[in-house]
A and B are shown apart, each in its own frame.
Chain A
């Protein structure tokens, strides 16, 4: 026997139900040796998660048809019966999931949840299991583990929860760890820490890791071998370095080339200012006691001033909870704040709904999640023309339709989309519709709140290119909120870095990236370009 741990051979997975059948995975083969790291890379819908779940045989039995073989050591997992599977899951093969917020049960302490695995698989007594749990938590870098075992999941941060998930997965010293997008939901600085932790634990336990991810950067630094999946098939498989140096398949090349370069002309012209805000402050009162007296306040945005010039982009960077979205909402008067805001040199802060209406035409928003930003019960035509009906009621139907066509052309969508509903479109197309909705009012300023975070890399690049093109064509100003430094670098002229509601660093994008002045900025940069 060689040191081959997992051998997947000609695996196909079909999902069947009464009236449809989907081929999710089509005839793929790969192997993982003991202690090795294999990464499966692909965009959403490529079947990579389906593959991972098949290895644990976690799909609904009735609706799934497997073909091929998954050989783990000497056994074929696909031929195992339920008791054998239960014995294997969690002890020989363990799995960590993407979303640390939902993969821990909120009504049990983290200690209970880790002990459960130990008691179940290793038949340890309660006291010994607890002791082991404390050890494990210490190993995954949780401070004061003896106290923390009694904590409930909601008291932990996202990064800590992911550490707990890892501790849980490691509890029975698995031979294979399947990590399904383990860092996608985490902030960049925490991502780096979790990856380092996984790498060091891998050495210590000598386990193999199957990493499922869309993040090429991560793969480059972490995996020994890479398999690229597209539409349910593995299109290319190679050692990491070789694959990155000389990608063979067209799709791999496309994936690699979707890495972002500078997209804008970085030269800063001194145009007039479209949006100028001084000393913006947003605070939420913390109330306590029977009479709900205000005892303290939580400052979400603390004295932020910005100045955005015509035709330029200001990037706002920060980790989750840094107040960047709150800042954006207050600038558009969608969130109460103190401070002064001028749009096109007119004071807009403190205006009520009605007085604000003329300015609504000038500044528009595009949101992060293309699935919740379009009302599911309106046609695309209704969605896009709504603002037009409100702000230019004098247009007749024909004039409106002409404008609609013009905008669709701008965002590269064909005319027939007008009479369809949002659910028929992919994420990238929906984002185009959202952009069209913002653009049809001919605004001067668009607030882009993480506009590409929910999109696949190749789609991300196309949408960003579209945005840059529109900026040039219409001299638009963008307020670009993002956690992704690469995107901000590619898109923005100026940027500010936010942390805990305060501006840590501000300046021209290139100079901030070239010579960051603050420790926090440096830390961020290292984490995202490691």
Chain B
């Protein structure tokens, strides 16, 4: 059936495909606001040291300005006895400073691994004016650990996703574009590789190597690219027989140029659609590994570790509840964003 020409206002017609996608994305209010909220939270968390720190932002002491969040000062600077870095939560140092000047604290005056020795209660301590969301079982401030944990989780997820996307695109592109024998062998390799038990490998490796963020990223990346490469492969397979690819070949472009300039931009739809879901998947992966104790070392701020503490201390409701809210909130924002992106990229929907 021949379709009647859709008469759209002229301004819409002049937009590039990407501009139209952005327009459609903005039309989805839930996804759009989720993106804004998520971006604000993420950017704030990047400056976590200025928001939640046991060191004050600025100190004015005996006519001089000090910036402890950036520079480490020995205790002797403020009239103390030791050459080590000043402990600004210590009542003695505090008194010294307030006698001869003033200080401005960060919004939450705890860092992720600073221990509150002055707590009136046993650890884990319930929320109080000192620790807004209470402390964990070692007396560390839960709010601070949440802020740093959120940052680590999101950054970890970004890196993991980026690596997965890059490897996935390259693998998928090579298979799809060249097809034939390369495709055949690569697919068999993926089948073998994909059937390896990921969790067991992680358990084995975490007992061999010193656990850390880097080793986790490497291990998870080894397996994280396969789902995506299948989609990219399918797009390339579909695209490589289109006439503009033949035209590009007839122009004399090299394979790499054709893949990069012509096929890739037209094959990104599944990649972009999956990004938010992959990010939320990565956050979840890190959290679950930490929960099982296979993830990052104990001193690192981690949502999974907080959850497992919550499990150990059921009565300390502030541990599990606050972590739960942060985790669910983050994942929900990402899923709303993903939903909006998927809708925006669906070209069947007319804007």
Contacts and interface: CB of A to CB of B under 8 A. Distances in A.
Interface in B240-262: 242-244, 246-255, 257, 261-262
Given A45-B4, A437-B247, A375 B262 contact: yes
Given A356-B252, A376-B17, A391-B252, A20 B7 contact: yes
B4 A22 contact: yes
Interface string A323-367: 000000100101000000000000000000100110011011101
25 contacts: A24-B4, A45-B5, A47-B4, A49-B1, A356-B252, A360-B250, A360-B252, A361-B252, A364-B251, A365-B247, A373-B247, A374-B244, A375-B266, A376-B17, A376-B266, A377-B17, A378-B261, A378-B265, A386-B253, A387-B251, A424-B13, A437-B247, A437-B251, A441-B251, A447-B250
A423 interface: yes
A232 interface: yes
Interface string A181-214: 0000000000000000000000000000000000
A15 B4 contact: yes
B207 interface: no
Given A334-B249, A375-B265, A390-B252, A20 B6 contact: yes
B8 interface: yes
A379 B257 CA distance: 17
A447 B251 CA distance: 12
B243 A373 contact: yes
Contacts of A378: 261-262, 265
B345 to A, nearest CB: 12
A17 B350 CA distance: 9
B266 A367 contact: no
Interface of B: 1-8, 13-14, 16-18, 242-244, 246-255, 257, 261-262, 265-266, 350-351
A326 B148 CA distance: 62
Which of B250, B257, B262, B351 gathers the greatest number of chain A CB atoms within 10 Å?
Answer: B250
Interface of A: 15, 17, 19-20, 22, 24, 44-50, 53, 97-98, 180, 232, 329, 332, 334, 353, 356-357, 360-361, 363-365, 367-369, 372-379, 386-387, 390-391, 420-421, 423-424, 434, 437, 441, 447
Nearest to B5: A45
Nearest to A50: B4
Contact of A369 (B6, B18, B243, B266): B243
A198 B146 CA distance: 76
A341 to B, nearest CB: 14
Given A364-B250, A365-B247, A376-B17, A53 B7 contact: no
A437 B243 CA distance: 13
Contact of B4 (A232, A372, A391): A232
A174 B269 CA distance: 46
Contacts of A357: 252
A48 B242 CA distance: 29
Nearest to B27: A19
B252 A372 contact: no
Contacts of A424: 13-14
Which of B16, B254, B265, B351 gathers the greatest number of chain A CB atoms within 10 Å?
Answer: B16
A334 B251 CA distance: 11
Given A45-B2, A334-B249, A387-B251, 16 more contacts: A19-B350, A20-B8, A45-B3, A46-B2, A47-B4, A50-B1, A360-B252, A365-B250, A374-B244, A375-B265, A375-B266, A376-B17, A378-B261, A386-B248, A424-B13, A437-B251
Contacts of A372: 242-244
Nearest to B249: A334
A17 B6 CA distance: 11
B268 to A, nearest CB: 9
A479 to B, nearest CB: 12
Nearest to B251: A387
Given A353-B254, A365-B246, A420 B14 contact: yes
A97 B1 CA distance: 8
The 4 closest A-B pairs by CB, nearest first: A360-B252, A373-B243, A367-B243, A24-B4
Nearest to B255: A353
A56 to B, nearest CB: 12
Nearest to A440: B251
A156 B14 CA distance: 45
B251 A421 contact: no
A390 B251 contact: yes
A95 to B, nearest CB: 11
B2 A48 contact: yes
A356 B250 CA distance: 10
B244 A334 contact: no
A428 to B, nearest CB: 13
Contacts of A53: 1
Contacts of B255: 353
B12 to A, nearest CB: 10
Nearest to B9: A20
Contacts of A379: 16
B247 A367 contact: yes
A377 B4 contact: no
A377 B251 contact: no
Contact of A44 (B2, B250, B351): B2
A367 B351 CA distance: 30
Contact of B247 (A22, A46, A434): A434
Contacts of B251: 360, 364, 386-387, 390-391, 437, 441
B46 to A, nearest CB: 32
A373 B252 contact: no
A67 to B, nearest CB: 16
A50 B6 CA distance: 13
A365 B248 CA distance: 10
Nearest to A97: B1
Which of B2, B6, B255 gathers the greatest number of chain A CB atoms within 10 Å?
Answer: B2
Contacts of B350: 17, 19-20
Contacts of B13: 424
Nearest to A24: B4
A180 B254 contact: no
B246 A390 contact: no
Contacts of A24: 4
B237 to A, nearest CB: 15
Nearest to B268: A377
A72 B13 CA distance: 41
A377 B5 contact: no
A49 B247 contact: no
B244 A375 contact: yes
Contacts of A17: 350
B4 A373 contact: no
Nearest to B252: A360
Nearest to B15: A421
Nearest to A446: B250
Nearest to A373: B243
Nearest to B18: A377
Contacts of B1: 49-50, 53, 97-98, 180
Which of B246, B262, B265 gathers the greatest number of chain A CB atoms within 10 Å?
Answer: B246
A44 to B, nearest CB: 4
Contacts of B249: 334
Contacts of B244: 372-375
Given A48-B2, A372-B243, A386-B253, A377 B266 contact: yes
